[in-house]
Amino acid sequence: MRKISIVGAGRVGETAAQILAEEEYCREIALLDVREDVPEGIALDILQTAPFFEFDCAVQGSNDPRILKDSDLVIVTAGFPRKPGMSRADVLESNVRIIDEVTDHILAHAPNAMVLIVSNPVDALTYRVTQRTGWDRSRVFGQAGVLDASRMASFIAQETGFSALDITTMVLGGHGDTMVPVPRFCTINGVPISYFLTEERIDAINERTRKGGAEILALRKNSSAYDAPGAAVAAMVDAIVNNRRRLLPCVALLEGEYGEADIAMGVPCVLGEKGVESVVELDLNARERADFERSATAVRKEIEQLRSLS
């Protein structure tokens, strides 16, 4: 991949850009932000780490959307962050206007790019971008489940004392309080977590996963999480750039899978060089199905709110 652009040079965007540069996932990274001089300063700061981390990709920043020209992938982190006590849906009205403007810039300057949405509420905004562009769902997808699954894995590692490297987790549904951790598909080096944890402890981990972002926000007080979200973005970029065809939970437009259509939410996807290659439909049990449907209902409410803002 030659060029990756990040729209929104806030903490998540900056963290993602630093990791992408260190890993040399592309030859050029472009940062776009509305704040005067800020993206240029961040780009320069990242560039000056090159001798330490031994990378030589170009990093530049601008307030001019023409910097998106010829991007292979555009990562959108722009938007107002939530404050303590706010849900992700609470920032929908302010962020949809930003996303619409960003989408128009992408259409004008990077019409052949893939788009990775990180801005919240990510499910509704991913849906918005797919509708506004008219592009195939393979090209427009969101980051949520990769982050949520990582949080769940870290909690399991803390609870059991096992290495996080051996823990595989799956989180479906909307990126919010109705997300659906699926312990039945979570393992420690292939062994189901139920072998090591009681149902009560698993339920506690599920609930902590749902509140994972809010927990960090409450502790930091003046900032949402950005290290783990930036790393989650980088994991998805790695799968795309290296055509790994990884099975990752991504926000994707559903076309009948899981009995849902005309909605974007977190589901297992095969992620490779062409973006979302396919959606994998898991055989959910009755409880998991009910939780997924409840999450879909919450996402649909956000989408209906979107439509009322059009």
Contacts of 254 (CB under 8 A, 6+ apart): 260, 261, 262, 263, 264, 265, 267, 279
Centroid of chain to Cα 296? 17
Same-domain pairing of 72 and 182: no
Question: Which amino acids are annotated as binding site for NAD(+), given as ranges?
Answer: 8-13, 33, 95, 118-120
- How much is the pTM? 0.96
Cα-based torsion angle of the residue sequence 236, 241, 242, 245 in order, rounded to the nearest 10 degrees: 50
pLDDT score recorded for residue 79: 92
Q: Please say if the pLDDT value at position 82 is more than 70.
A: no
Helix (H) or strand (E) holding 7: strand 3-7
Same-domain pairing of 58 and 176: no
pLDDT score recorded for residue 92: 87
CATH number of the domain to which 194 belongs: 3.90.110.10
Nearest CA to 5 out of 55, 65, 93 is that of 65
Same-domain pairing of 192 and 289: yes
Q: Please say if the pLDDT value at position 89 is more than 90.
A: no
Domain boundary among 143, 166, 199: 143
Q: What is the mean pLDDT of residues 109-137?
A: 97
CATH number of the domain to which 107 belongs: 3.40.50.720
Its domain, for residue 107, covers: 3-143
Same-domain pairing of 299 and 239: yes
Q: How far apart are CA 160 and CA 118, in angstroms?
A: 30
| 93 — pLDDT class (breaks 50, 70, 90) | confident
Catalytic residue numbers, as ranges? 175
Q: Please say if the pLDDT value at position 108 is more than 80.
A: yes
Question: Which amino acids are annotated as binding site for substrate, given as ranges?
Answer: 82, 88, 120, 151
Residue 189 burial (CB < 10 Å; 0-12/13-18/19+)?
exposed
pLDDT score recorded for residue 292: 98
pLDDT tens-digit series, residues 216-243: 999 998 888 999 999 999 999 999 999 9
* Percent of the chain at pLDDT exceeding 70: 98
Same-domain pairing of 159 and 296: yes
pLDDT score recorded for residue 120: 93
Domain count, the chain: 2
pLDDT score recorded for residue 88: 63
Same-domain pairing of 33 and 138: yes
Q: Please say if the pLDDT value at position 2 is more than 90.
A: yes
Same-domain pairing of 110 and 225: no
Same-domain pairing of 17 and 138: yes
Q: What is the mean pLDDT of residues 168-188?
A: 97
Q: What is the mean pLDDT of residues 102-114?
A: 98
pLDDT tens-digit series, residues 182-201: 999 999 999 999 999 999 99
Q: Please say if the pLDDT value at position 142 is more than 80.
A: yes
Q: Please say if the pLDDT value at position 139 is more than 80.
A: yes
246-255 β-sheet, strand order: 58-62, 28-32, 3-7, 73-76, 114-117, 140-142, 246-255, 261-272, 275-279
